[in-house]
Chain A
């Protein structure tokens, strides 16, 4: 069976190469038969890669330890859900998973564009299949997931215990989905450049793909943060690790694109800038993969390191040279007359928002690569860690939060003094009231204080927009408030979905500021029955319990939590010891509420003295980060939900497509 998997990958590689060549020939020579043939080959690639992925998954589930990959990343006692996760838990499997998703997305793009964008499609197919070719070539010639061991292993080495967590079931696929789907806007951008069709048609065609990619990058980052929070046990959720940075950078640039593209749609401006952002987002996804695989910069994600770095850096250079070359070649045709009328306009606000987003992305990039630069220039290894990123990005984040408030309400073209008064009086008063209330509540001045005030300003603008919209509908159409709200959102999903996303962003900002500035942390060795105070909580170490099964052994400390003389919870932080990789892990115990998380870790335990070192954190408002993620997901769904007319058109098109077949 694995030989069939290998054959499928090899054939997929050949079909991808064929698809690239015929698609380009079809586009250049205007041969629709070539173009269709290239598309059919892309479908064949999808089918073959699905077969290959299914065979590897089957080998994992059947514990076929004759395969090197299965023996290295699973074991017979690994729970089934983590055995499935082992498909992307190792380098070879994750590359196959990448190719699998890319080929599926390519097939979806082909189906979506059967009868439209025909001038762009040859180059879209060629671009997507070039990317697929790269990954399939790695799987064929460099890192074969179906490699057999000379002698079958009796038992597998097991999946890295850090990956044996339910968030790990979701985090990598989400991030891969975000990364891989960024290929689609990139492919359309390249197609626009190659075909010379530089208007906004390609932009409109990939609007949903760009949002889809952004939403999964958001989700992937947040799920990764949640995983780190629960599994690594150091009390935080973001450590500015190079690989975290690698996932954050394309998110920032993609966010900038989603804003600036509105200017192109409205005013046919910024064609070059939008292309740059699309190309950069894709290049950063490849750069991120390079960072993860190369080990050039030390990272907590070192379990994925391999010798693939040079291949990825080569491919990245190829992408930059080709896309940069095409961009320069088309530059004269991309220039359009600019018609921004005033600094006080939504266009200008979006441009400054873009500057900050790309500026933060650059700061993160710079901090990530600076250790390498320092070693080259000075021959001295240095570390660029959280203190650097926090200091540099905190002020930039505040400016971004300010523009999050300004963007939605400032007028397009030119904001008159009357418009500015009307748009900002409410939000500014809200922010001032918040500033006074926070001062009275004793919140010290600093970044957190400013974040809360600017967050209130941004929420004020969003709230005002909803309020005014609902009031206007109620006044004109005499609708009830809930009906007016649903109609308001339904009639302009993109706008109001965007506002809901902004609420999520503000929520995340507030969570990050509060949990960074006001975290309480106490570490104390306790004997049985002894207590420690953490903020307003009193913790009592009650006893140690142990448990063991074939897969792992557990050591759990039972800790009762008291507040105001009343027991409110019992927590059981654990140390686990996985038997096959012989590795200890930390299992955090948490009491999570909207206002704070009580986060308890069993630091160490001395059996002889029955002394348990308990590390406890009170992390304020961390739940708001996950809540922000839910808001962002809801906002994205609202934004992407097709309007009634679109749904009718799709149904009609599908119905029409079925007729000849029947």
Chain B
């Protein structure tokens, strides 16, 4: 149950893929695609002078949006042409779920482990040892009081 709730939370944190499909903008689509000129940036970020890869892709996105195509269809067209590497992030399908879930699963496991360890430590903590009533020699006591009084007198 807890794990299920955690996975729902993870899905929410990851931003519910697909929700924005109907309202995709040019920028959103450009950021979903990786430029193939070797810069390693998204199509949106690549600003290589007259980039042979990014510029035609930006134009194609604009044309397809103008023709009324939605995000999924436009991305599928690019994916069909270049393969999955064109997408700037793993899809939410099959093996790629490992990419998204593993960091959160690891963190969840870590949190559970840490909570268990802390629980054990806090319960294993030995009770504080009561102060032992050490008999204090009266001469020592009077010396201590005298020295403290002298200390107080110091400027």
A residues engaging B (CB < 8 A)?
232-236, 239, 241, 298-300, 302, 338-343, 348, 351-352, 355-356, 358-359, 362-363, 366-367, 370, 373-374, 377-378, 380-388, 391-392, 394-396, 521, 575, 584, 586, 601, 603-604, 615
Contacts and interface: CB of A to CB of B under 8 A. Distances in A.
Nearest to A241: B40
Contacts of B14: 391-392
A383 B118 contact: no
A604 B86 CA distance: 25
Given A234-B46, A367-B99, A381 B84 contact: yes
A363 B87 contact: no
Contacts of A521: 27
A387 B32 contact: yes
B interface bracket (residues with beta carbon within 8 Å of A): 35 or more
Contacts of B111: 352, 355
B114 interface: yes
B39 interface: yes
A449 B45 CA distance: 25
A387 B122 contact: no
B88 A386 contact: yes
A339 B121 contact: yes
Nearest to A605: B49
Contact of B107 (A241, A359, A586): A359
Contacts of A340: 118, 121-122, 125
A232 B85 CA distance: 22
Interface in B111-145: 111, 114, 118, 121-122, 124-126
B38 interface: yes
A384 B38 contact: no
A383 B87 contact: yes
B148 interface: no
A302 B38 contact: yes
A385 B49 contact: no
Contacts of B103: 359, 362-363, 366-367, 392
Nearest to B58: A523
Contacts of A395: 13
Given A300-B39, A351-B118, A355-B111, A586 B47 contact: yes
B99 A381 contact: no
A258 B49 CA distance: 44
Given A241-B40, A300-B39, A355-B107, 8 more contacts: A340-B122, A343-B118, A382-B87, A383-B87, A385-B89, A387-B31, A388-B89, A586-B47
Contact of A604 (B50, B87, B89): B50
B106 A338 contact: no
A378 to B, nearest CB: 6
A248 to B, nearest CB: 14
A362 B102 CA distance: 9
Interface in B8-54: 13-15, 27, 31-32, 34, 38-42, 45-47, 49-50
Q: Give the one of A342, A352, A377, A387 with max B CB within 10 A.
A: A387
Nearest to B28: A387
4 A-B pairs with the lowest CB-CB distances in the bound complex, closest first: A363-B103, A385-B88, A387-B89, A234-B45
Contacts of B110: 355, 358-359
